[in-house]
Amino acid sequence: MSKNPNYSQAIEELENIVSELENENVSVEELSRKVKRASELISICKTALHITEQEVKNILEDLNREENKKEKP
Residue 12 lies in a domain: yes
Contacts of 48 (CB under 8 A, 6+ apart): 6, 7, 10
Judge whether 18 and 58 are in contact, CB under 8 Å: no
What is the domain count for the chain? Answer: 1
Residue 35 lies in a domain: yes
pLDDT digits (tens, 9 = 90+) for 13-27: 999 999 999 998 899
Determine the Cα–Cα distance for residues 5 and 47; give it in Å rounded to an integer: 12
Q: What was the pLDDT predicted at 1?
A: 62
The residue range of the domain holding 61 is 7-71
pLDDT digits (tens, 9 = 90+) for 33-47: 999 999 999 999 999
Evaluate if residue 70 carries a pLDDT over 70.
Answer: yes
Residue 41 lies in a domain: yes
Neighbours of 44 (CB within 10 A): 19
